[in-house]
Structure 1
Amino acid sequence: MIVRKTILGAAIIAGLSAGTALAGGEIYPVVEAPEVDMSTVAVAQGWYIRGDIGYAASIKGGDIDYNYIGEGGADESRERFDDSRFSKPFSYGFGMGYQFNNFLRTDLTTDFFNSSFDADSSIGRACPGENAGTGCDFTHDSGYNAISVLANGYVDLGTYAGFTPYIGAGVGATNVQWDDLKTRATCVDGASVCGSTAQGDPVRSPGEESWRFTYALMAGASYDLTNRVKLDVGYRYSDIDGGKMFGYSDAEKALGASGTKASDDGFQRHEIRAGIRVTTW
């Protein structure tokens, strides 16, 4: 009996030892995941300032009509500038903005630009003081100065090897100040012969000033020159509402004319822009 108990106890101890050894062969050491210190992850956030220059490859002004007041004030008609051209396509501006994170930012910008304006028109009637049966051609020249203030928002689309593409949109207002319009009349032979070929000094119509609603769409990319300085190159389309251009000349006012002589349909500008952004973080 004693021998049996001894053998049974030895067997149990041997079995437990074997089981423990087998189980120990299948246990792997516990590997803990490393902790991530979020304070070391860079998040773009803070104020920035910017300066830009632009070149308008295309400036469109639409059809522009004006009121013509003929001799004696009785010959009034609505005419059109047949061939109008805008030039001086350069602009410059500055602004301040805020970067909310790596993807969203906004800024307030002010841009300055001007343009010359040249146009031709004609009427199928005699110039003032000319023979009946002749026609009259006009040449016009003026220009305007403009200040545009826009609130803009952008979505940065990620940074790749220092380049950050973006898209954006802006809304605001533009102040347009037209210079005086200078108009020269030239008689054109028709059924009758002109008495002269030019009408002396140009007639001046005073320029008008107005604020116009403006919106813009942008796309481009920035490049990290340093940790704080970015080169920004992009395209901007801006649409400026129409408004007053010119009032009546003194001679036309003497004939009873009042109000606005001409209004434009606004401007659509397609610009290539380049600038620098300096961040504060």
Structure 2
Amino acid sequence: MARRIASSGIIAIAALVATSALASDLEVIEAPEIDVSKSVAAGGWYIRGDLGYSGWIKGGRPRITQAGATQEFDERRFSRPLSYGLGLGYQFNDLARADVTVDYSKDDFRGSAACAGGPCAFKADYSAAGVMANGYVDLGTLAGFTPYVGVGLGATYLDWRDAACGGAGCPGAWLAGQDGLRFTYALMAGASMDLASNVKLDFGYRFSDIAGGDAFRSGAGGMDVRDRGIQKHEFRVGLRVPLW
């Protein structure tokens, strides 16, 4: 009986030792740590600079009022497609940002119409300086590119220079240019990519619409020319640089 008990004890001890050795040889698998802390969204102030190219500048047909009669221009054309912009903005989070921008452009205008006394042709320059408040929604980043859409509201100071008038219907060689502040809105879409830490290259499309107003006036001949707004389709490229 004693031998059986001793044998059983030896077998139990051997099994325990073998189990311990096997356990020591097994590699301990650690559970991955789960970070439950809230991620911090990118944010902060930035400055921006933009260069725009207007592939298409369109204006509603200007109207001439003379001797109580009103008629539209037969033809009109704009040139000088470049615009320049600077702005200050704030990135609220990964989705939303806003900025205030100042834009400047100059343009040439050519147009012709059948005036009361015969045909007349006009040639003039104008400059446009606008201030816009813009809001954007970034749509997420894919392959390093962040597409976005945006909308802007503001005002543009449009300054028409004196217009040269040629033709039998002109009341004089020159018509006095008019100026004024006009409501403006814009719609934007594009994408940005990182050049460095938070420094972004921005490229996209912008449609802007400047409200109509007085363009030229001739006191002697009683001729008033009123444009019917200017719409621009622009391709723009720029940089956004963080301040802090």
The interval holding the TM-score normalised by the smaller chain is 0.7 to 0.9
Residue 18 of structure 1 corresponds to: none
Q: Which letter does structure 2 place at the counterpart of 1:238?
A: S
Task: Compute the displacement of 1:34 (Å).
Answer: 2.2
Task: Compute the displacement of 1:32 (Å).
Answer: 6.4
Matched, 1:58 2:50: no
**SS in structure 2 opposite 1:219?**
strand
Q: Which letter does structure 2 place at the counterpart of 1:222?
A: S
Show structure 1 runs of 5+ residues with no match: 1-28, 70-75, 128-135, 188-198
Residue 245 of structure 1 corresponds to: 215
Distance 2:48 2:157 in 1: 21
2:200 aligned residue (217, 223, 230): 230
Residue 275 of structure 1 corresponds to: 238
1:97-176 matches, within 5 Å, as: 97-123=89-115, 127=117, 136-176=118-158
1:34-113 matches, within 5 Å, as: 34-36=33-35, 38=37, 41-69=39-67, 77-113=69-105
Q: Which letter does structure 2 place at the counterpart of 1:272?
A: F
Distance 2:159 2:243 in 1: 36
4+ long deviations beyond 2 Å: 31-35, 76-80
Q: Which letter does structure 1 place at the counterpart of 2:110?
A: D
Q: Which letter does structure 1 place at the counterpart of 2:240?
A: R
Q: Which letter does structure 2 place at the counterpart of 1:118?
A: R
Distance 1:207 1:150 in 2: 25
Distance 2:44 2:37 in 1: 18
Task: Compute the displacement of 1:38 (Å).
Answer: 3.3
Task: Compute the displacement of 1:68 (Å).
Answer: 2.8
Q: Is the 8 A contact 1:228 1:280 kept in 2?
A: no
Greater C-alpha Rg: 1
Q: Which letter does structure 1 place at the counterpart of 2:60?
A: G
1:1-20 matches, within 5 Å, as: none
Distance 1:241 1:248 in 2: 22
Distance 1:223 1:44 in 2: 15
Q: Which letter does structure 2 place at the counterpart of 1:147?
A: A
Task: Compute the displacement of 1:121 (Å).
Answer: 1.6
Matched, 1:181 2:163: yes
Deviations 1:217-272 (A, max 9, x none): 110000100013110000001111111111224x33xxxx4xx7121110111110
Task: Compute the displacement of 1:144 (Å).
Answer: 0.8
TM-score calculated relative to the size of structure 2: 0.81
Deviates further, 224-233 or 59-68: 59-68
Richer in strand (by share): 2
**SS in structure 1 opposite 2:196?**
coil
2:183 aligned residue (213, 225, 228): 213
Q: Which letter does structure 1 place at the counterpart of 2:144?
A: G
Task: Compute the displacement of 1:115 (Å).
Answer: 1.1
Task: Compute the displacement of 1:165 (Å).
Answer: 0.6
Show structure 2 runs of 5+ residues with no match: 1-27
Residue 17 of structure 2 corresponds to: none
Task: Count residues in correspondence.
Answer: 217
Task: Compute the displacement of 1:36 (Å).
Answer: 1.8
